[in-house]
Structure 1
């Protein structure tokens, strides 16, 4: 089973942000399972942690350790 990474993305503030982050992760990590909780600013995904963090950064957000 792929390892799950959970990050806090405090600058994710709306559903547009959620969509942008989800899209970036799915593009960077094909087949990843993405879970996003807007209320707690938590983003979880499976697969390569470094690639996922980079994808979130490239989408314009700031991932931090949860």
Structure 2
């Protein structure tokens, strides 16, 4: 089990949280996504390591920006 934490910029509401959760959750191998709106932290739990590029692409697809990972 792998756990990675990222910081996402631009989320302002629960809809934002849902969008990021859905897109990141769609990455192969991801089993859980926890988004903290107040801090912008996104914690990704997966069966195997997930590339930062895949997470960044998913966050971008949701309309936000990955600022650290």
TM tier, smaller: 0.7 to 0.9
1:38 aligns to 2:37 (yes or no): yes
Task: Tell me how far apart the structure 2 counterparts of residues 23 and 56 of structure 1 sit (CA, whole Å).
Answer: 10
Q: Which has the higher helix share?
A: 1
**Unaligned stretches of 5+ in structure 2?**
none
Answer 1 or 2: which has greater strand percent: 2
Count of residue pairs brought into register by the alignment: 65
TM-score (norm 1): 0.81
Map of 1:5 onto structure 2: 4
Query: What is the RMSD computed on CA atoms of the aligned residues?
Result: 1.7
- Partners of 2:6 and 2:30 lie apart in 1 by 19
Match in the other structure for 2:58: 55
- 1:25 maps to 24
